[in-house]
Structure 1
Amino acid sequence: MSGTTIGEALVAKLRQRDVTCVFGIPGVHTVELYRGLAASGIRHVTPRHEQGAGFMADGYARVSGKPGIAFVITGPGLTNLLTPMAQARADSVPVLVVSGVNKTASLGKGLGHLHELPNQLGLAITVALLSEQVSDTNALDPVLDRVFHSLTNGRPGPVHIEVPLDVAAAEYQETPAETRDPEPPVDPAMITHAAKQLTEAQNVVILAGGGAKRGEAGLQALSEALDAPVVQTVNARGLMHGHPLTVPASPSLNAVRALIDSADCVLALGTELGPTDFDMYATGQLAKMSNLIRVDRCRDQLARHKAALTIQGNVNVVVPKLMEVLPHEAKQSEGANRASETRDAAWEEIGPDYRHQVEILNAIRSAAPNALMVGDSTQPIYAGNLYYDHDRAGGWFNAATGYGALGFGIPAAIGASIADPTARVICIVGDGGAQFSLPEIMAAVDENLPVTFVIWNNHGYREIASSMQDAGIAVTGCDPSPPNFAATAKSFGIPFTSVPAEPQAVAQALRESVVLDGPSLIEVTAPKFEPQKD
């Protein structure tokens, strides 16, 4: 790479690491990163805001299984990306953010340079797993080694690299790769211990989290061997669709808590047991988890909840090892009946409004089978997070849990579509949340992506308005006027239709949209929330 700049070398080395797409908005502080980009074979997608770049990288990573990459400028480019980085951190999504930074000699001196921050590295590390600077011409290789090791070992999340302006334009000097310790091997004694505990138990329940979403076949085999119902968190939805042992319902529901309480052994696979999944009603307590066995890649995570046994390791490695030592004869413990009774009770528990919205989701699933369904914080997504059985592993995800960032849905759906161009992507957002990132639809137009944007228009923030009213607070600030979505779609140059919030009407609109090339927009008109008067 003689005569190659650091910026060019960085792009080339990303391509060597199987990076095929970056999301970014070029600026004067990143032009050197773009010097070699056009010839690299890496696709560049231009969002309309740096936050969109981060959420696109997130959606791309969730679907592809590879790190999503975002290029942003110094200062405001990075600060605009902090929210997507925090969402990725909460949901264990591998995202690499590459930013510029001012010239090395100026850093930390407060001289008033363009886009200057007091400490950009320090700011990024508040949400990143790792934040590194390419400090000189021979630092690129060690930095890339460290950040990609972080992205691919242990619990994934966002990482950050900054390249000073003077270094980006300097000549690259190759440095030998550093040796990195691999993930520790799974302890065979722990596998044997866990298998013994699971074999002796009479009523096992499995809790499947996002760490299990790429291991559907192993999870199904394990659940059948143990005759154990499988409760899915939001990030695990789509696993074992329609299976008699699946429980696609929130572990915060009383019906699901009762199932977990009745277990004499609980096996938690790749879930942090966080309150947005396990205690969304803020009771202050999780369900009782007798003889809890936890499997997670993160040692720190395993220490956060008391358990009878913890196994550090990738769920997709641990589950096959468990199958090797479990008895060949499947356990008989009425697992299918327990799961069925829980599903029925959970369905009744969510109430008629949410049941109606889940029926709309079911109609969407029927109209567009095996789609990627990406969401934001809006009523049908809340309903689906409580109870919905998607038909594609890893095909249901949204930002209504964990960090809970509005504006996620539209750009994340774009990233998801780029990750799997063969899939239909259905993006479900509310009229309020859509206004956080509505311009990003133009990126879908630019890239001609098969994304159907479904906007649930109830003219405001219904969930917040309901919470205010329930708390005895005068409903204030919850009715921002939505734009004319028909006119908006026309300005974007994409097909538009508006339908009532009824399952068959929405399904028909979906059927018409999925045969189209490129993006389209469907407005679902729902009743506006009207506060009760004294």
Structure 2
Amino acid sequence: MTSGRPRPAHLEIPLDLIDAVDKVNEVAPVLVAHPPADAVTIAAAAGRLNTATRPGLIIGGGARGAAEEITALAERLGAPVVATANGKGTFSEHHQLSIGAGLHHKAVAEFVAECDVVLAIGTELASTDLWNGPLKFPGDLIRIDVDPAQMITNALPDYCLVGDAQATVTALNQRLGKAHASQEAAKRAQRWQKLFRKHARTQGAAWLPLVEAMKEVLAPGAVIAGDSAMACYYGTLSNLPLEGPASFLYPTGFGTLGYGLPAAIGAKMGAPDRQVVALHGDGGVMFTLPELATAAQERLPLPVIICDNGGYGEIRREMVDRSEPVHGVNLPGVDFAMVAKGLNCHGLTVDDEDRFAMALRKAFTADRPTVLHVVGELAGA
């Protein structure tokens, strides 16, 4: 489960052993090695990075364990950094070298095309992140991935560094030369930041008031558990800066509706001292809405934001774009504040930025979860 590419493992216990009794001894935890890529390949990649004049970094979910090392690497190279949805926050989005999170923006494709070397760490470079087709790498591509099969998926690298991200980036840092001029690197990053933010704000315009209100309240280290909702992938992904690995929990790839609330419950119980927010659409939250009872039972001060646009807005929009009959995507008005109270949570309906920010701030210190039913233009409706 913890070796190679970390993932869940299935353990099956035969029925006749479930109630078996025997004397057993405690077993010491198995220590799993997380080695770097081989030294020869690291040396070759470091040599190429040392000669780069326009380097760039792409970081994904597999880079989460190497946050400090990647920050040191980016600063040493003077390389702007763009993150996938799963890599969001691993490199602080408040850092002057951060371009932003979200590979699907036109600015990212243009940035990659401008780089003479791109270092991709722990990312599949998959269509679920890119949306608009694969990235093209006119310069050299260096990939770091713990999974050998993933190394050649979606893009063929010029340098294959198969190994643990933290160990491999540490080894790279040890072989790289002096840091590049920070002022020059910052200017280059700033140019791409502006273009990226322009695209992000245009795409997420309907949710910017909500995002701006969240910015006022969220503290450094806050965790957003987002559902597969327009408010998340158009709104917060690229427009709400976060810092810290796993600060943006999102069902990348599967588009799992209902993911946000149970993910937020787990995050809050695992990190009780951090602000945790569940962010949903009104359609997606219907898949796991009863989990409010679990959060209430645990007395979690958890804000659950539900952006109500009257149903499954993304599917409805696609039907309209294809001139198809719109059917099966509109939900009758649900009083989510009332549902919340019925499940022993606080509940409030808001349609105003100031009132929303005030309610969100209060929800972090409440004695139980608070459902914020966001309606009207604030919900992107």
Cα offset, 1:482, TM superposition: 4.5
Equivalent of 1:163 in 5, 9, 13: 13
Question: Is 1:212 matched with 2:63?
Answer: yes
Equivalent of 1:195 in 21, 41, 46: 46
Structure-to-structure mapping, 1:134-533, within 5 angstroms: 151-172=1-22, 182-183=33-34, 185-238=36-89, 239-278=91-130, 280-281=131-132, 283=133, 285-288=134-137, 290-304=139-153, 305-330=155-180, 334-350=184-200, 352=202, 354-369=204-219, 370-383=221-234, 384-399=236-251, 401-500=252-351, 502-526=352-376
Mapped partners of 2:116, 2:316: distance in 1:
41
SS at match of 1:236: coil
- Residue type at the aligned position of 1:414: I
Could you tell me which residue of structure 2 aligns to residue 32 of structure 1? none
Mapped partners of 1:340, 1:181: distance in 2:
40
- Residue type at the aligned position of 1:474: P
Does the CA-based 8 Å contact 2:99-2:196 persist in structure 1?
no
* C-alpha spacing 1:363/1:213, structure 2 compared with 1 (3 Å): farther
* C-alpha spacing 1:264/1:332, structure 2 compared with 1 (3 Å): farther
- Residue type at the aligned position of 1:286: L
Mapped partners of 2:30, 2:361: distance in 1:
52
Does the CA-based 8 Å contact 1:358-1:388 persist in structure 2?
no
* C-alpha spacing 1:427/1:247, structure 2 compared with 1 (3 Å): same
* C-alpha spacing 1:200/1:434, structure 2 compared with 1 (3 Å): same
Gaps of 5+ in 2: none
Could you tell me which residue of structure 2 aligns to residue 132 of structure 1? none
Whose Rg is larger?
A: 1
SS at match of 2:288: helix
Does the CA-based 8 Å contact 2:77-2:179 persist in structure 1?
no
Cα offset, 1:329, TM superposition: 3.8
- Residue type at the aligned position of 1:193: A
Cα offset, 1:360, TM superposition: 2.1
Cα offset, 1:395, TM superposition: 0.9
SS at match of 2:362: helix
Cα offset, 1:345, TM superposition: 1.6
- Residue type at the aligned position of 1:244: Q
- Residue type at the aligned position of 1:288: F
Structure-to-structure mapping, 1:64-83, within 5 angstroms: none
Mapped partners of 2:324, 2:373: distance in 1:
30
Mapped partners of 1:182, 1:246: distance in 2:
31
SS at match of 2:349: strand
- TM-score computed with the length of structure 2 as normaliser: 0.91
- Residue type at the aligned position of 2:249: F
Gaps of 5+ in 1: 1-150
Identical positions, percent? 31
Does the CA-based 8 Å contact 2:73-2:169 persist in structure 1?
yes
Residues 426-461 of structure 1 show CA distances to partners (whole Å, capped at 9, x for unaligned) of 100011101000001111111111211011111111
Could you tell me which residue of structure 2 aligns to residue 119 of structure 1? none
SS at match of 1:205: strand
Mapped partners of 2:29, 2:174: distance in 1:
35
Equivalent pairs, count? 375
Does the CA-based 8 Å contact 1:225-1:329 persist in structure 2?
yes
* C-alpha spacing 1:181/1:392, structure 2 compared with 1 (3 Å): closer
Does the CA-based 8 Å contact 2:143-2:161 persist in structure 1?
yes
- Residue type at the aligned position of 2:304: F
- Residue type at the aligned position of 1:290: G
Mapped partners of 2:32, 2:210: distance in 1:
48
**Bigger shift: 267-276 or 242-251?**
242-251
Residues 263-317 of structure 1 show CA distances to partners (whole Å, capped at 9, x for unaligned) of 0000001111111112x13x3x323252100001111111323110011111111
Mapped partners of 2:328, 2:100: distance in 1:
34
SS at match of 1:483: coil
Residues 199-257 of structure 1 show CA distances to partners (whole Å, capped at 9, x for unaligned) of 11110010011111232221111111111000011111122231110011322211111
SS at match of 2:290: helix
Does the CA-based 8 Å contact 2:249-2:263 persist in structure 1?
no
SS at match of 2:82: strand
Mapped partners of 1:200, 1:359: distance in 2:
44
Does the CA-based 8 Å contact 2:264-2:276 persist in structure 1?
yes
Cα offset, 1:359, TM superposition: 4.5
SS at match of 2:101: coil
Does the CA-based 8 Å contact 2:301-2:365 persist in structure 1?
no
- Residue type at the aligned position of 2:315: I
